[in-house]
Amino acid sequence: MKKQHFMRMISWFLLFIVGVGIILINGIGLYAGNWFYEAVDVAYARDHRGEDRKHQELLAEGKATKDWQDVGIVSKHGYKLQGTYIPSPQKSNKTLIFLHGFTKNRLYGLDYAKMYLQEGYNLLLVDSKAHGDSGGTSVSWGIEEKDDLDSWVDWVQNKFPNGIIGVHGVSMGAATALMYAGLDETQHKVAFYVADSAYSQLEPILKEKIIEEIKLPENSLLPDVLLFYSNIVSYYKNRYTFHGSSPLTAITAVTTPVLFIHGAADTLVPPRMSEDLYAAVKGPKELYIFPQAIHACAVYQDRKQYTQIVQTFVEKYGK
């Protein structure tokens, strides 16, 4: 009897130890996951706002002399969205919506404006969620941003009911555009997309960056564990996960024309991701790889060729 009681006590003690261990391990995991979520989704975008004097001066000049207008709407998710509308010098019902990359802001669209103005397009440069002057507490990597893009598309349609709309995105902006393309497949509000340096899936990039920053071996399981707990935190706080940011999944049925652009020297988002996206699209598509361009810099590496490629594509599908 005493022996059985002793064995039960041992069993309960072991269960207690295992339970404490599980709680401790998950507690540490959730703490690390929350740290990673806050660092990537919240703090980094706000601490690296991508502002510079050159673009600010161009904006001030355009508003003073060229009828450029700051515009604002409210996201379907409740936060404010800010943009700048640049009318074509000639009256036009064609509008290009520009989506910047992670940590940048709408003013970087000014580096792409001339090629579209030459084609008779108005431009709408927008700040993504938790970037620039837009609201939102965290970046959702295209998940909520695609809904915000839909709101901007509606804004343009209200301004030009029978107009033509194109979307040009860079990096995260390109991923957002492609995720929206899947959403828009039933209505075809947008006539074409230009996706510069898009990622096909977010998680593999984050995993690679974790390995690189912490200097882990390639087969380490730590990035998977960290992302697992970060996804739990992200879902608890916002009802979305890093795993949900997957343009590759979104575009499998897309028939709207897409132009893919990437740099062969891109070490942040490997060019194979654009190649995978290109292969997945069912509709009209083009792919150009700039041999020496790093991430999101093809337009700076060879502006003449970049402009020619974009304008030829727009003339084909944006008329």
Instruction: Read off the CATH number of the domain in which 252 is found.
Output: 3.40.50.1820
Residues 161 and 220 grouped into a single domain:
no
Residues 150 and 37 grouped into a single domain:
no
**pLDDT of res. 235:** 72
Question: pTM of the full predicted structure?
Answer: 0.89
**CA nearest 151: which of 65, 72, 205, 95?**
72
Q: How confident is the model at residue 219 (pLDDT cuts 50, 70, 90)?
A: confident
Quote the CA–CA distance of 95 and 123 in Å, as a whole number.
Answer: 5
Residues 153 and 291 grouped into a single domain:
yes
Residues 28 and 78 grouped into a single domain:
no
Q: How confident is the model at residue 187 (pLDDT cuts 50, 70, 90)?
A: very high
> Which one of 216, 240, 264 terminates a domain?
240
Token digits for 193? 């997309």
Stretch 258-279: mean pLDDT:
97
Residue 7 has pLDDT above 70, yes or no: no
Residues 118 and 153 grouped into a single domain:
yes
Share of the chain above pLDDT 70, in %: 83
Please provide the DSSP assignment of the chain as one string: -HHHHHHHHHHHHHHHHHHHHHHHHHHHHHHHHHHHHIIIIIIHHHH-----HHHHHHHHHHHHHS--EEEEEE-TTSSEEEEEEE--SS--SEEEEEE--TT--GGGGHHHHHHHHTTT-EEEEEPPTTSTT---SS--TTTTHHHHHHHHHHHHHHHSTT-EEEEEEETHHHHHHHHHHHHGGGT---SEEEEES--S-HHHHHHHHHHHHHT--TT-SHHHHHHHHHHHHHHHHHS--GGG--HHHHTTT--S-EEEEEETT-SSS-THHHHHHHHH--SSEEEEEETT--TT-HHHH-HHHHHHHHHHHHHHH--
Q: How confident is the model at residue 121 (pLDDT cuts 50, 70, 90)?
A: very high
Return the number of other C-beta atoms located less than 10 Å from residue 191's C-beta.
17
Q: Lowest-confidence range among 11-15, 96-100, 244-248, 311-315? A: 11-15
**pLDDT of res. 142:** 94
Residues 128 and 190 grouped into a single domain:
yes
Mean of all residue pLDDT scores within the chain: 87
> Which one of 177, 211, 240 terminates a domain?
240
Residue 159 has pLDDT above 90, yes or no: yes
**pLDDT of res. 47:** 58
Longest CA–CA span in the chain (Å) reads: 97
Q: Lowest-confidence range among 29-33, 248-252, 275-279, 280-284? A: 29-33
Stretch 41-52: mean pLDDT:
57
Residue 21 has pLDDT above 90, yes or no: no
**β-bridge mates for residue 73, sequence order:** 81
Residues 145 and 217 grouped into a single domain:
no
Q: What are the Cα distances from residue 149, in Å, to 10, 78, 181, 243, 285?
A: 60, 14, 10, 20, 21
**β-bridge mates for residue 124, sequence order:** 85, 97
Residues 235 and 120 grouped into a single domain:
no
**pLDDT of res. 114:** 97
Residue 17 has pLDDT above 90, yes or no: no
Stretch 237-266: mean pLDDT:
91
Quote the CA–CA distance of 197 and 189 in Å, as a whole number.
Answer: 23
Query: What's the domain count of the chain?
Result: 2
**β-bridge mates for residue 290, sequence order:** 263
Q: Lowest-confidence range among 5-19, 72-86, 104-118, 149-163? A: 5-19
Q: What are the Cα distances from residue 64, in Å, to 56, 58, 98, 180, 261?
A: 12, 10, 22, 33, 34
Quote the CA–CA distance of 248 and 205 in Å, as a whole number.
Answer: 14
Residues 120 and 188 grouped into a single domain:
yes
**pLDDT of res. 145:** 96
Residues 164 and 114 grouped into a single domain:
yes
Residues 149 and 95 grouped into a single domain:
yes
Residue 99 in contact with residue 118, Cβ under 8 Å? no
Residue 2 has pLDDT above 60, yes or no: no
Q: How confident is the model at residue 222 (pLDDT cuts 50, 70, 90)?
A: confident
Stretch 185-209: mean pLDDT:
93
> Which one of 211, 240, 269 terminates a domain?
240
Residue 24 has pLDDT above 90, yes or no: no
**β-bridge mates for residue 231, sequence order:** none
Residues 119 and 256 grouped into a single domain:
yes
Per the model's pLDDT, the better-predicted residue between 136 and 18 turns out to be: 136
Range of the domain at 8: 1-47+202-240
**pLDDT of res. 158:** 97
